[in-house]
Structures are given as structure tokens and as C-alpha cells.
Structure 1
């Protein structure tokens, strides 16, 4: 078996002039992986490269694939994912993965952008103030999940109600209200974070349903899972597919 011509061309588009050292030490593995990830998977769907690489970056955050993330950042830039979009994917990950897991990815994106000659910090994307972040966060929840979320931040047992409040003002008020990505894109990357990290199936089902409500339909989510599969593996991909099927029944 040899690396296919399509895989070679696609890899060159991703990373012009780059040759992996694994071609010398692990040629059989590279043939297997590249022919699958950069030919068979790419040709499974008529999917635009920009969306594909936004999903891959989010999935690599979710599964903690820091070394592959570093490789894919410049590839994403070459497929016109903007510096702002790369930053926003990493920023939003903090709400779903926690800073303990996101911290090295902040360094990675800064290193890649700086190496490209892009001056940091990038332009501000925040649209909220301390006074209105809760209100705007609640509105984002309503826009995504429906009117039932309007009072959700006040719900739950008194001893844990503050977490629902934080979900509204921090997760949605601080992050979802930012410019750079729209709500449909933010729900897509959230789906990728949750699918890739595993163990979050209730939340993944909920966000699969939210994606569908926002216009990222079942077929779109199946395409996302398919494109992320080489990076997160079969068990988490099959779990994500099950959650999509369950979410469809909720609508």
C-alpha cells in the first residue's frame, strides 16, 4: 500500500512542504492513517474545509490532543479559519473543559499566531459588561434552547442554585455573547468539546438537540462526527452518534 495521490495533495494544502518524521520511522502507520484521515474521511462528505478544521480543533481540545492541535493550527489557518476564530474556540473551551485542560492550548495558539507574525492581543470580541452579562447570557440560552431557559438560572436547590446562575452569566454571558463566532458555530464546537472528552453524554444529547434547533441538523452533526473520528476514535464517535439519535427524539 502507498499513500494515495489525493491524500498527498490534501496534506500539501494543509501544510505546504511539511514532511513528517514518521515517514521514516513508521511508514506503514502513516500510510494507514493518512489514506484514511486525508482521503477516505475527507471524501465521505461534501464538507467545507473551514468548518471541518474548526470542528477538528474543538475535538482536539476535548480529547486533550495538544501535540496534534499544534500541528493542526497552521493547517486551519491555511484553510481560512481566522486567528479570531481559533482564539474563540480555545476561549470557549474553558467553560466546557476547565482551565486546567485549556491552559496549554492557550500557549499553543499564541505560539502559532506569533510565529505567523500576527500581533497579540487580537481585537476585543466581548459584547457584555458586568451589569448585563447575566441578561445577555439568559437571552443566548433562550435563543439556543428555547423559552424554557428564561428562568433556569433561578432554578434548582438553594445550595447549588449558584451553578445555574454561573451557567447563565459565565458560560453563556461571558462566552456565547462574544463576536468572532455566531451561535450556530458556538453550538457546533460545544458539541465537539463534549463528544471528544467523553463522559458527558447527557450534556452532549442536550447540545445535539440545541444544534438541531439552531439549524445544525442531524445530517450535519453526523458529518461533524465523521470528520472528527480519526482524532477522537470510534468509541466516543459512536457514543456521539447515539446521543444525536436520542436528541432527534426530543424535538
Structure 2
């Protein structure tokens, strides 16, 4: 096997002292994958390791990569992602993936954190109550998408208006208002949730625009797509790129 020096060094930074069993069972595959993902890809741009790891964790949630998520979480923590930030990524994913897909990740992150000696529960990050979540959620929508969102929660046909209401009080009021991640980080991970699960192109375009409005520009989003490509493959990465280009128009 011919592992690139950069790939070996990056792998050692992520997983100090760990030797993959794939070197024995699948040597040709792991040689090419590690050289691609941990040398060619990570050296494509100047995205910092911490941001890269946050994006990968969100991407693995989006594509339902529970085993890889549990394997990568220690690497993310080694690169400076805090337990609170990792938890917030998992919590927010419920609004975009649903509890049916996130439940294994809630269990998985707890297993990894407890194995590292992190005491649970972590310090609470909520800033709202059941009485204030709607108003705070509306404000979060306005802050991210613009003033036209002020009355969005009461718009639409009567029979489905409650869903727009839930977007305000639940999706934004319950999650985006939490401490632990700022709006730019929350929109970045939302972009990753949507890109990785596929089939959400209208929402992906909308959130690509939101990212750009917050300062996560087109170049940044292309970096995010590039760094997550080894984990979701080319079709969904190319779809995400198309959505970014559409949003940039």
C-alpha cells in the first residue's frame, strides 16, 4: 500500500494511534479512500479543521451514516468541536430529518461522550420558554431570511397554516434560538442536512441564499460541499452545487 504522507498524518491527527482494520481486509480500497479523503480533499482549500468536522457530522446525520458518525465524532472533538456544539448539531437535525432518523444519533452521541468521560446532561442551552418560543422564532426567521418573514407564520391556506406556525415556534423557536452555535453555523449545518439527504432542492436553494445572506458566501459553500463529498458521493454533491449556483443568481 502507498499511503500519502499527508493522508497518514491527517489520519493520525483524527485518530491518534488507531490502525484501521480495513488495511488488512480491504487494503486497496482504504489506500485510495484515505489518500483521496484525507489528502486530496482536505488540501483542496483552506477550510479549517473544526468547521470541516462540524460540516461532516451534519452531513453524516443527513445521509444516515450512523456508524461513520460515531467513528468521526471523536475526531471532531479532537479538532476542537465541543460536546455542546456536537449536541446542538444533533438536536437541530430533528427539525430537518425527523426524530425517526435522528433517534439512533441521539443514542450514539451519548455513547461516545460518556466513553470519553463527559458527564451528561450537558449544561442547558435553551433561551426560550413555551411562552416565548414563537416570538423568538419569528425574530430568528427575520434575522436570517429578512423582514418578509414577520408574518409568515400565519400565512398560507387555512388547512395547512399550522405548519408555517410550527416552522416559527418549533423549527426556529426551539432550535435556532439555542446557545452553542450561532446563526452562521446553524445555517451551515442545515445546508449539510439538506444536501446530504437529497430530494430537498427547493429548501436547499432557500438555505443556500440564507447562508449567503449571513456571510457564508458561494465560495464557502463550495468548500463545504467539497469537504463533504467523500461522505455523500457525487450525485448529491453535484445537486448541492447546482442549488448553490441557483441561489447565487
Tell me the TM-score normalised to structure 2 length.
0.99
Matches for 1:48-63 after TM superposition, within 5 Å: 48-63=48-63
Q: Are 1:167 and 2:155 an aligned pair? A: no
Corresponding residue number in structure 1 for 2:74: 74
Q: CA deviation at 1:47?
A: 1.0
Q: CA deviation at 1:23?
A: 0.4
Q: CA deviation at 1:188?
A: 0.1
What are structure 2's unaligned runs of at least 5 residues? Answer: none
Q: CA deviation at 1:20?
A: 1.1
Q: Are 1:222 and 2:234 an aligned pair? A: no
Secondary structure of the equivalent of 1:43?
A: coil
Corresponding residue number in structure 1 for 2:133: 133
Secondary structure of the equivalent of 2:153?
A: helix
Q: State the distance in 2 between where 1:177 and 1:153 align.
A: 16
Secondary structure of the equivalent of 2:3?
A: coil
Corresponding residue number in structure 2 for 1:210: 210
Tell me the TM-score normalised to structure 1 length.
0.99
Runs (4+) of structure 1 exceeding 6 A deviation are: none
Matches for 1:110-129 after TM superposition, within 5 Å: 110-129=110-129
Corresponding residue number in structure 1 for 2:101: 101
Corresponding residue number in structure 2 for 1:24: 24
Q: State the distance in 2 between where 1:41 and 1:160 align.
A: 43
Q: Are 1:35 and 2:35 an aligned pair? A: yes
Q: State the distance in 2 between where 1:181 and 1:199 align.
A: 26
Secondary structure of the equivalent of 1:209?
A: helix
RMSD, matched Cα: 0.5
Corresponding residue number in structure 2 for 1:177: 177
Corresponding residue number in structure 2 for 1:2: 2
Q: State the distance in 1 between where 2:7 and 2:121 align.
A: 35
Corresponding residue number in structure 2 for 1:236: 236
Q: State the distance in 2 between where 1:48 and 1:246 align.
A: 26
Q: State the distance in 2 between where 1:183 and 1:244 align.
A: 18
Q: State the distance in 2 between where 1:37 and 1:195 align.
A: 18
Q: State the distance in 2 between where 1:27 and 1:130 align.
A: 54
**Number of residue equivalences:** 249
Q: State the distance in 1 between where 2:169 and 2:150 align.
A: 12
Q: State the distance in 2 between where 1:98 and 1:130 align.
A: 20
Q: State the distance in 1 between where 2:203 and 2:46 align.
A: 28
Q: CA deviation at 1:144?
A: 0.3
Q: CA deviation at 1:198?
A: 0.1
Q: State the distance in 1 between where 2:9 and 2:174 align.
A: 40
Corresponding residue number in structure 2 for 1:88: 88
Secondary structure of the equivalent of 2:43?
A: helix
Q: CA deviation at 1:151?
A: 0.3
